[in-house]
Structure 1
Amino acid sequence: MPFSGAKIPTAIPTFPSPKVDNGRLFEVDKICKNRALKLSWNFGITQLKLKRSNYHSRFVTYASNVSVSDASFPADYSELLRQAKEATEFAIKDNIQLMEIEFPTSGLQSVPGDGEGGTEMTESMQLIREFCDRLVAPEKATRTRIFFPEASEVKFARTSVFEGVSLKLDYLTKPSFLEDFGFGTKVKMADRVRPEDELFLVAYPYFNVNEMLVVEELYKEAVANTSRKLIVFNGELDRIRSGWAPDYPSFFYPKLAALTKTLLPKMETVYYIHNFKGRNGGTLFRCYPGPWQVLRRTGNKYICVHQRETMPSLKEVALDILQPA
């Protein structure tokens, strides 16, 4: 989604379409287009406001000869999905219950807004299907529940990307008469979950405030103090984490602001790519259990210019780490 007036540097992008194994690409449906138009209306004129956070680096590495393989940055979406699957498996073995996977869908070097909003949602849906094909064993499919933002998107998924699968498809919210203003009707998670469920995957819950609030409810009511796992897939949590959503000021949306203290600290980011454009552009990259890396692209190579064990803020990466010495 475009965020005009952003303070993060920008650069000339490339726009390769995501290519995944054994998958079909589908036309963007009307539902996704409508959601994208509303999202553009809500956020298209917002200004990026990132808060600086103090940090203490565990270690910093500067290098001049680190290749793509050394930095572990994926060469294509097939490799990305393999990495994300392996990172998730490592996290599950470490008994991490709440996980985040976040990466661009309009090309490995793209940023939110490079692609049309509805297209990005449909691409995320396709990539979620491919990710599940890798992660979920056939005998576990009926114990895996995928939550889409709305019931109408579940219907679209069942007749397109997820046609014929055994995975359970569900939804977070129902449309209301205030839908055009970004509101929906909250769904009680206790009514959606089944005793046999083992893994929940929530697909791109960033359209309105209710979606992430319902994710927190899902975690509290169905995941915490159980053996279940929950993955938030392309939820654009940086909007909440970094505090730059002026459309949702904490005064009017205290519950959403509270997620930075209640839900997000419990979350492990197991796979993450965020690109920064401009002359001093680069990438913030993480593949669990590895460290966070800031990479600078030079030709067909990625050079690691900084790494640490904790996530730096986006403002810190853009204005401090990627700036020339």
Structure 2
Amino acid sequence: MSHLQSRVAGRVHTMINSARISSRSIRLTRIGHHQQCILHRYKYVTDRFVVFASGNGPTTSARNGAVLDKSAGRMTYKPLSYGELVNDAVESVMSAIGDGLKWLEVEFPALPTNVDGYKGSSDLFIDSNTQLALAGAKRVATRGRKVHIVLPDGGEYARTCRIFKNSIQLAEGVTFGHLKEWNPPNPLSALLGGGAPSSKEAGEQADTYIFINATCVELLNVRAYVEKMVNSGARDKVFILWNMELDTLRGDLGLPAFPSKDMHYQFLSRVRPVFYLRARDYSKSVPVPPFIVNYSGALFREYPGPWQVMLKQDGGEYACIAEDRARYNLGEVKEELTVAMGLATEAEGSAMQFLRRGYKTSTWYEDDYDLEQSHEWRL
């Protein structure tokens, strides 16, 4: 290990241990005026460790049975399996439902690879996400809810029914359908081998809907489906957008042949992220060996806890370095990680700092606060 790497590793180790014992980095945000600043301050968090030790918290860890106070967030997070990820996501969903929330988002990597972003054509992503959604739906159904997993169209629905036939039959309280299940069936679909049982009745009887694998254009159908169910008069229905990578889809809104930005302002802005894990890799050039320093982190949220910036350790564990009740944009996440790694060495306000950060550190949907009909997606 080079001298610089040793210094960086030592600094991170010291800072993380200090954060676990007596400090927390807190960001203050004035979203309404589009002004944001980062204030690092120290405070004792012994009360938080009392919660962990006392066993009085509301949630039990699937790994070791330890009781967690999710309202305070996590000091570290390292899911050992997708089963644990799904279980944590479902616990967050049920907590949100218990608090009366109806429009929810669940987001975590659906594939254990470096595949970045769902482009609407990956069967591997589609099948993996379908299995994860089915696993989550089974857990939700055991809580007494009727779950309907909604696919983009009849073709995807027929394909899923064919591939996961046995799993669907064994999933008590869970049904499958698609966004166009109210449309008259195509008489040619059965002749072409694409027929599947009608899902209209199951959709009407469900009280929890999990939408998966929709593309940006198909958000129009998702919105129409949700609004149709809301207008039906049922007040206890819950809608979950599951691993749809909404941040990626938001980036295409407003482009030619895509839905307008109103899709975010009027619809997506109303969806509350209840379980969110978005990992990112970064690097920075330095003037001494090894010349390039690579580091990784994630934006994490587990309802009802705060939004947290997590720095990835050598053992794969994510350690919290900053948190806030308002959502961080990706530019702020990178800045927090850079500071934590000791790589923000440029003088404040200098030209080098400007070149490192760039002119724009946020996207249009993060900036257009006043145009949103709701701010749920930031909370």
Distance in 2 (alpha carbons) for counterparts of 1:113 and 1:231? 18
**Which of residues 229, 233, 236 is equivalent to 2:238?**
229
SS in 2 for 1:249: coil
**Which of residues 154, 157, 160 is equivalent to 1:151?**
154
Q: CA 1:95–1:273 in structure 2 vs 1: closer, same or farther (change >3 Å)? A: same
User: Counterpart in 2 of 1:33?
Assistant: none
* Equivalent position amino acid for 1:160 in 2: I
For the pair 1:249 / 2:249, whether they are aligned, the reply is no
After the TM superposition, which of the residue ranges 215-224 and 103-112 deviates more from structure 2? Answer: 103-112
SS in 1 for 2:311: strand
User: Counterpart in 2 of 1:50?
Assistant: none
User: Counterpart in 2 of 1:92?
Assistant: 97
Distance in 2 (alpha carbons) for counterparts of 1:288 and 1:79? 16
User: Counterpart in 1 of 2:298?
Assistant: 283
Q: CA 1:125–1:60 in structure 2 vs 1: closer, same or farther (change >3 Å)? A: farther
User: Counterpart in 2 of 1:80?
Assistant: 85
Note the C-alpha offset of 1:256. Answer: 3.6
User: Counterpart in 1 of 2:313?
Assistant: 298
Distance in 1 (alpha carbons) for counterparts of 2:225 and 2:34? 31
Distance in 2 (alpha carbons) for counterparts of 1:216 and 1:71? 36
What is the TM-score with the length of structure 1 in the denominator? 0.65
Gapped runs of 5+ residues in structure 1? 1-52, 175-190
SS in 2 for 1:204: coil
For the pair 1:311 / 2:311, whether they are aligned, the reply is no
User: Counterpart in 1 of 2:271?
Assistant: 267
Note the C-alpha offset of 1:73. Answer: 4.1
List aligned pairs for 1:64-213, cutoff 5 A.
70-107=75-112, 111-112=116-117, 117-137=122-142, 140=145, 143-161=146-164, 162-164=167-169, 165-166=171-172, 167-172=174-179, 194-206=203-215, 208-209=216-217, 211-213=218-220
Q: CA 1:61–1:297 in structure 2 vs 1: closer, same or farther (change >3 Å)? A: farther
Contact 2:102 2:239 in 1 (8 A): yes
If asked which structure has higher relative contact order (CA below 8 Å, sep 6+), I would say: 1
* Equivalent position amino acid for 1:271 in 2: F
Q: CA 1:117–1:60 in structure 2 vs 1: closer, same or farther (change >3 Å)? A: farther
Q: CA 1:113–1:60 in structure 2 vs 1: closer, same or farther (change >3 Å)? A: farther
* Equivalent position amino acid for 1:295 in 2: M
Contact 1:62 1:304 in 2 (8 A): no
Distance in 1 (alpha carbons) for counterparts of 2:108 and 2:41? 23
* Equivalent position amino acid for 1:96 in 2: L
Which structure features the higher share of helix residues? 2
For residues 20-55 of structure 1, what are the alpha-carbon distances to aligned partners after superposition, in whole Å with 9 as ceiling and x for unaligned? Answer: xxxxxxxxxxxxxxxxxxxxxxxxxxxxxxxxx946
Distance in 2 (alpha carbons) for counterparts of 1:133 and 1:101? 15
Note the C-alpha offset of 1:153. Answer: 1.8
Please tell me whether Structure 1 or Structure 2 has the larger radius of gyration of its CA atoms: 2
Q: CA 1:266–1:59 in structure 2 vs 1: closer, same or farther (change >3 Å)? A: farther
Q: CA 1:305–1:139 in structure 2 vs 1: closer, same or farther (change >3 Å)? A: closer
User: Counterpart in 2 of 1:44?
Assistant: none
Note the C-alpha offset of 1:138. Answer: 8.0
Note the C-alpha offset of 1:79. Answer: 1.2
What is the TM-score with the length of structure 2 in the denominator? 0.57
Contact 2:105 2:242 in 1 (8 A): yes
* Equivalent position amino acid for 2:153 in 1: E
Distance in 2 (alpha carbons) for counterparts of 1:223 and 1:60? 43
Note the C-alpha offset of 1:95. Answer: 0.8
SS in 2 for 1:159: helix
| Count of residues paired in the alignment | 243
